[in-house]
Amino acid sequence: MKEEQLKRAYEDAKAQYASLGVDVDQAIEKLNNLSISIHCWQADDVSGFENPDGELTGGIQATGNYPGKARTIEELRSDFEKVLTLIPGTHRISLHAIYGDFGGEFVDRDQIEPKHFQSWIDWAKKVGVKLDFNCTLFSHPKGESGYMISHFDPEIREFWKEHLRRCRRIAAEIGRQQGDPCIHNIWFPDGEKDKTVSRFAHRQLMKEALDDVFTEKISTDYLKDCVECKLFGIGSESYVVGSHEFYMGYAVKNNMMLTLDAGHFHPTESIADKISSMLLFVPELNLHVSRPERWDSDHVVILSDELLALTQEIVRSGHADRVHVGLDYFDASINRLGAYIVGIRATQKAMLQALLEPTRQLREFELQDKNFQRLAYLEELKSMPWNAVYNYYCQQQNVPVGDAYIQDVQEYEDQVTSKRV
Ligand SMILES: C[C@H](O)[C@H](O)[C@@H](O)C(=O)CO
Ligand SMILES: [Mn+2]
């Protein structure tokens, strides 16, 4: 689309939104302040660099065999650098502990140190992104039984507790060097396939392990820990130790951040409606935006009703500054870089629609019991020209407008990822 056309469409959109009392430029500014935490594991099907040829375990699965996955740190960074040229805004990259720069050595999880992530910190500074972090309690022989940090064997528990302690220190060092707290997400797949009898015992062990690890106090200027619950995984269909009730209780009791993953609840349960409740009881929330297709399948995020409901709840809560938006999906069946762009842009588009909502007016209708008017406006808003605003934003940020990024992704595949054989 030509520059003048884009500008005209934007001016039209601006006038239409102004008639509803919405300030489009303010919405763009807020969208531009939304740093999405881009998960590193879409680029390589959650392989990492500790044992890249090992099996992905822990009840999660990347299906598909599309060529071109990142096999080295250099390839992964090159993919990210490309991604950053195709999306507007300033973002974060979320690393898992198995993505350290181990220099070809095997470094076990209870041995990792900040030095293994120094090249990531330097790279992030160079490309202008901040980093987040995740401990990795999957794809390891000490997780074979299904239990790790809540294992009955104290030696196995100690191994994972040590991993967790080290991950917190690594994340804190990242936060210190980047001058911005590093969000450290804690997800353990501990659980069982079938009718578990010792549910209380495992949960007690998990609670004790967390309490023990968190006795080491680290300033939230550097590190923000958050805990992620899950309903079930592959091979843990019957019981997951870190359930919603477990972590909701833990986060509320300890006044810490809770992670809500869109795929970690019952299939028709939405995390959107949890935001306004949890914001009353925990200091901050971390979101794992994902797309569950019938199960926690981690499909690429698209502009769905569920995603829109999520961003609407973030904005309507009036506490968007306490909600961190991260992505969590891994699709190995399509161009992996394209998967990033689709998911990131969809999240931004949903956020923009939410920011362009005349919320005050809608609340007026509620006060006056005019619920037909509320519903009608919510319907009309769906076809308002929000995309003209997004296109203009992309153009202002010098990134491809509309579908232009598809060609860029194809070129990168032709020139780079297709050569990875
Ligand atoms: C790789 C991530 O840590 C993982 O996806 C986790 O966040 C999760 O959601 C597991 O289902
Ligand atoms: Mn997740």
Place of tokens 């999520």: 310
**What's the 41 CA to ligand 1 centre distance in angstroms?**
9
Any ligand 1 atom below 6 A from CB of 226? no
Residue 55 is encoded by which pair of tokens? Answer: 């099996």
Distance of alpha carbon 224 from the chain centroid: 15
Residue 146 pLDDT exceeds 90: yes
Any ligand 1 atom below 6 A from CB of 288? yes
> In this predicted structure, what is the pLDDT of residue 280?
98
Any ligand 1 atom below 6 A from CB of 184? no
Residue 271 half-sphere exposure toward CB, CA atoms < 13 A: 28
**Nearest-angstrom CA–CA distance, 406 and 337:** 10
Alpha helices in 64-117 (DSSP H): 73-85
The string of pLDDT tens digits covering residues 315-335 is 999 999 999 999 999 999 999
The string of pLDDT tens digits covering residues 147-163 is 999 999 999 999 999 99
The catalytic residue among 328, 331, 357, 413 is 328
Any ligand 1 atom below 6 A from CB of 132? no
Q: What pLDDT band is residue 2 in, cutting at 50, 70 and 90?
A: confident
Distance of alpha carbon 259 from the chain centroid: 9
Residue 271 pLDDT exceeds 80: yes
Any ligand 1 atom below 6 A from CB of 348? no
> Binding residue per annotation — 296?
yes
The string of pLDDT tens digits covering residues 218-227 is 999 999 999 9
Residue 1 pLDDT exceeds 90: no
Q: What is the mean pLDDT of residues 304-314?
A: 98
> In this predicted structure, what is the pLDDT of residue 393?
98
pTM: 0.98
Nearest CA to 395 among 386, 404, 384?
A: 404
**Nearest-angstrom CA–CA distance, 179 and 308:** 32
**Nearest-angstrom CA–CA distance, 392 and 28:** 10
Q: Which atom of ligand 1 is nearest to the CA of 134?
A: 3
Residue 407 is encoded by which pair of tokens? Answer: 């060609």
Residue 237 is encoded by which pair of tokens? Answer: 């269909």
Residue 240 is encoded by which pair of tokens? Answer: 């997951």
Any ligand 1 atom below 6 A from CB of 79? no
> In this predicted structure, what is the pLDDT of residue 269?
96
Q: What is the mean pLDDT of residues 254-276?
A: 97
Ligand 1: residue whose CA is nearest its atom 8: 187
Strand pairing report for 182-186 and 130-134: parallel
Nearest CA to 395 among 27, 18, 24, 28?
A: 28
Which ligand is nearest to the Cα of residue 39, counting in written order? 1
Q: What is the mean pLDDT of the chain?
A: 98
**Nearest-angstrom CA–CA distance, 41 and 56:** 12
Distance of alpha carbon 282 from the chain centroid: 18
Q: What pLDDT band is residue 36 in, cutting at 50, 70 and 90?
A: very high
Domain spanning 34-357 has what CATH number?
3.20.20.150
Establish whether 296 is a catalytic residue: yes
ipTM: 0.99
3-state SS class at 53: coil
Q: What is the mean pLDDT of residues 203-209?
A: 98
The string of pLDDT tens digits covering residues 100-145 is 999 999 999 999 999 999 999 999 999 999 999 999 999 999 999 9
- What is the b/e burial string over 272-282, where b = at least 16 CB atoms within 10 angstroms of the residue's CB? bebbeebbeeb
Probe residue for ligand 1, chosen from 328, 329, 330 as the CB with the greatest number of ligand atoms within 8 Å: 328
Q: What is the mean pLDDT of residues 396-410?
A: 98
The string of pLDDT tens digits covering residues 71-89 is 999 999 999 999 999 999 9
Burial class (CB in 10 A: 0-12, 13-18, 19+), 56: middle
> Binding residue per annotation — 264?
yes
Ion ligand 2, residue ranges at CB < 5 A: 261, 288, 328
> In this predicted structure, what is the pLDDT of residue 364?
98
